[in-house]
Amino acid sequence: MEKSLIFTRIFLLITLFSSSEIRAQKGEPHFIDVPGAWSSEKLNSQLTAYRSWVKVPEHWTNTSGRDLWTESVTFTIEKVAKSHELWINGKKVGSAGILSSENFQSGFNGLHRYKVPPGLLIKNSWNEILIRNFTNDGKGGFLGEAPSIQGYFLECILSGKWEFFENALNINPGKALKEKPKNAAFDNFSEANRILGEASELMPGSSLSADESYKMMEADEDLQIDQILSEPEVTQPTHLSFDSRGRLWVSHYRQYPYPAGLKMISRDKYYRAKYDKEPLAQDHKLRFLPNALLLPHIGYVTAENYSKFYLQMIENLESCLKNKPLRIIS
C-alpha cells in the first residue's frame, strides 16, 4: 500500500513537471499586472512578450480617406525593461533598443510615442497589441505608467491584466479579433487629460520626404508647382496666408507642446495645457519687446477650427491665383 502511494506521488510529480515543460514549449501565456515589475532566474528565453486587445472608437478606423482623427492616433510606452518592439494587428509600428544578446542595446530610458498608421486599426474589432520585450538579466516589467493609446479628445489607459509569454521565440503577431477575448481586453475610453511627456525620440511612422512628395504632385497645364519651403526650415506649421502684396506668410511652432524651460503640469482634452511657470514674470524681457504682440492661447485645437483653417488655406490659394486677396491686413 505504501509503495503504491509513493509511486502515485512520484507519477503526479512527473506529470506536473512534464505539463509545465510542454506549456513553456507551446508558449502558452499566463497573466501579469501592467504596470508592474517581475524577476525570474528560470526564464526559458530572454525574449518575452505582452499581449492585449483594444476596441477603439469607430472614427479612428476611417479608411475612406486620411483625416484628423486617424492621423492623430498614437501609442505610448514608458520605461519597459529593457528593449521592446510594438506590433499592432501583425504590423510592426516601432521599437526601442535592440532585441538581441549579441548587439544588445537598451531602450528603457525615456518615453516612446509611436504614430499608429492610418487604416491599421479595424472597425468594430478587438485590435491586437503585442509588445515583444528583451531582457538580459532576468528582470523586466513596465516600471513607469501603463501603456496607452490616444487620439484627439479620447484615450485608453491599458492598465490591468495582460497576457505574458515567458518564451516568445515562437510567438507571432496576430490579427484583430471579431469576438471579445475573455481576458486582457480594453475598451474603456475617456476624455484625454493625461500629461503628455516629451518623447525621447520622434517616432513619426512612415512618411515621404519633401522631394518625394513634390515629385508626386500634379497640376493643370496652366499651373506651375514650385517647392519653396520644407522641413527642417519649417516645422509644425500652424497657418499660412498671402498678404495684399502676394507674399506668403507661414507661422510655425517648433517647440509645441513642450516650450523650452517649462514643464507641463496638466492639460484637458483640447490640449490646453498648464505649465509650471505661468504667467510670464512681470519683468520678463518678452513683455518689453517692441516687435512682439502677445495673445492668449484659447485652445484653437478643435475640429471646428481645423476645418476653418484648411478651408481658408484653399481660399487663400485660389484668391492669390485670381489676384483678389482675402482678409487683407492693412
| Domain ranges (residues) in the chain | 27-202, 208-321
Question: At residue 197, what is the residue type?
Answer: G
- State pLDDT tens for residues 177-232: 999 999 999 999 999 888 877 776 656 666 778 888 888 888 888 888 888 888 88
Contact 114, 206 (CB under 8 A): no
69 sits in which H/E element: helix 68-71
> What is the pTM assigned to this prediction?
0.70
Torsions phi, psi for 59 (to 5 deg): -70, -10
CA 167 to chain centre: 26
C-alpha cell at position 118: 492610418
Lowest-pLDDT choice from 55-64, 81-90, 157-166: 55-64
Rounded Cα distance, 180 and 166, in Å:
24
pLDDT at 329 over 90: no
pLDDT of amino acid 15: 32
Lowest-pLDDT choice from 15-19, 156-160, 180-184: 15-19
Q: In the CATH scheme, what is the code of domain 27-202?
A: 2.60.120.260
pLDDT of amino acid 183: 93
Contact 50, 115 (CB under 8 A): no
What is the rounded (10 degree) CA torsion for 185, 190, 195, 196? Answer: 70
Please count the residues of the chain.
Answer: 330
